[in-house]
Structure 1
Amino acid sequence: MPGFLLWVPASLAVLLAALLQGITGFGFALIAVPLLLLVFDAHTAVILNLLVSFCTQLALSYRVRKEIIHSLLMNLFKGSLLGIPIGLYVFTHFNVKDLKILISILTIIFALVIFKLKSIKKITQEENPWAERLIGSLSGFLSTSTGIAGPPVVLFLNYRDLRKDKFRATASAYFTLLYGASLALLILFRNVNTHIVLSAISLLPPAFLGSYLGIYLFPRVSQKHFYYSVPLIVIATGLYSLLTSIL
């Protein structure tokens, strides 16, 4: 378990991340990973993100299960199964400092893309199983390599212009399945140790508190305005994490 001086900032990170996740169904890693990188090494931050996020996503998915688009969910997940092992190879062979820089750069790029997307008119798209599986593959790769699996799927769902409730439910269910598969593979290759598991357990109370607050705020917050603020926060944390890696 982390010491108290490490637990406090880590608990605030997962609380904020779970709050965002409770409202949107995604975004835990976008907030948690850059902030956890300020406290832990890159490998620990990625695995902690997966463990805590899986638990909160599982609870949220069960709560909103009636709104899930199952065909879209399964196509995304099938694609992710191709990307997960490739991402694991990158995860186990990357230098820790280089991995931290890669995570920071990806965070900034994806946040800029999401922010730019707000100025582009959404277009409702027909179902495309191959495109959905391709997006899932990219997401799966990012899941086990950097812990930031959300951006490809979030941008795709945004492009499909889903209703807010279906967006949240489908995204949440997808990440529950993805993180479960990613964790199973990491455990199989002995990348998860007892210390990390205990650290994750200690962070569950603030994570569930944040998720509960997010669920409570979901019908009360303008998603449009909220989405505008998220990329700005992510860009700021990503830049800070990048600067601390290269200086």
Structure 2
Amino acid sequence: MTLLLAAFGIVLLGAVAQAVSGFGFALVTVPLLAALIDPRGAVVVSALTGFGLTVVAAVRERAYARWPVAAALAGTALLGLPIGLLVLARAPERALNATIAVVVLGCVALVWSGARIRTGRVGLGAVGVLVGVLTAATGTNGPPLVAAFHSLGYDPRTFRATHAATFAGTGVMGLVGFAATGQVHVDTVRTALVALPAVPLGWWLGNRLFHRVDPAVFRRIVLVGLLGSAGTALAGLAS
């Protein structure tokens, strides 16, 4: 019961971060859930609980999304998905935990530095493939999208909407891939079902903050939280 309540709280934090900053759900939930259960279970639970969040956000914010960009990214993500599924199935747990921590730290570095990448057709295609790999391998597939959308100069609402639209597509692919490779188990489904009510609650809280708090300020708060999340994953490695 303690584990399930902790999972509820972790998913709540992730949903709030996603609603306000436009990213952060998996980056918050996966490392923290991995400290409670195993990293493979953490990736699947995060995907199961976060899928509804991204679909609802994509529908509600559809007028602000850049749909051609989201479709191109989701399409090329399909090319990287098999590689990510192979990593998830074959990599040792310690290696997965290390990868999760590195990806989270990489996201913090990208956002904090304001790094930009080439956003032409080839550049976005490469981002999409990397998103596909990370979707299946670690669930923490936001960092390349953060850099790409920052380079495209999206305002906070367009950023959030296009992010959700992209994740709606990659989320379907990820869940199908997890089911097809036998990564969905009874324990992960039970944990996801208990934590699921935290998603609309967290989105509601985050939406209220989105209209009251400077997004740049909250983004910095999210980044500090992500450092703690990555620290948790690294602490798990040390133990």
Q: TM-score range by the shorter chain?
A: over 0.9
1:96-143 deviations in whole A, cap 9, x for unaligned?
1221122112212321232222xx7x79x8x62221121011011011
Structure 1 letter corresponding to 2:138: T
Residue 41 of structure 1 corresponds to 38
Instruction: State the distance in 2 between where 1:206 and 1:185 align.
Output: 25
How many Å apart are 1:49 and its aligned residue? 0.6
Is the Cα contact below 8 Å between 1:101 and 1:246 reproduced in 2?
Answer: no
Residue 72 of structure 1 corresponds to 69
Instruction: State the distance in 1 between where 2:203 and 2:211 align.
Output: 14
TM-score w.r.t. structure 1 length? Answer: 0.91
Residue 153 of structure 2 corresponds to 161
1:9-38 deviations in whole A, cap 9, x for unaligned?
111110010011112332101111111112
Determine whether 1:5 maps to 2:2: yes
Determine whether 1:63 maps to 2:60: yes
How many Å apart are 1:217 and its aligned residue? 2.0
Is the Cα contact below 8 Å between 1:25 and 1:168 reproduced in 2?
Answer: yes
128, 149, 170: which one pairs with 2:162? 170
Is the Cα contact below 8 Å between 2:54 and 2:165 reproduced in 1?
Answer: yes
Determine whether 1:19 maps to 2:16: yes
Is the Cα contact below 8 Å between 1:77 and 1:133 reproduced in 2?
Answer: no
Residue 149 of structure 1 corresponds to 141
Provide the aligned length of Structure 1 versus Structure 2. 239
Identity of aligned residues (%): 29
Residue 234 of structure 1 corresponds to 226
Residue 179 of structure 1 corresponds to 171
58, 77, 90: which one pairs with 1:93? 90
Is the Cα contact below 8 Å between 2:67 and 2:165 reproduced in 1?
Answer: no
Determine whether 1:131 maps to 2:132: no
Structure 2 letter corresponding to 1:135: V
Structure 1 letter corresponding to 2:96: L
How many Å apart are 1:216 and its aligned residue? 2.3
Instruction: State the distance in 2 between where 1:230 and 1:25 align.
Output: 10
Question: Which moves more between the two structures, 210-219 or 137-146?
Answer: 210-219
Instruction: State the distance in 1 between where 2:21 and 2:229 align.
Output: 19
Is the Cα contact below 8 Å between 2:7 and 2:191 reproduced in 1?
Answer: no
- Structure 1 residues not aligned, in runs of 5+: none
How many Å apart are 1:230 and its aligned residue? 1.7
- 3-state DSSP class of the match of 1:38? helix
TM-score w.r.t. structure 2 length? Answer: 0.94
Is the Cα contact below 8 Å between 1:108 and 1:239 reproduced in 2?
Answer: no
Cα root mean square deviation, aligned: 1.7
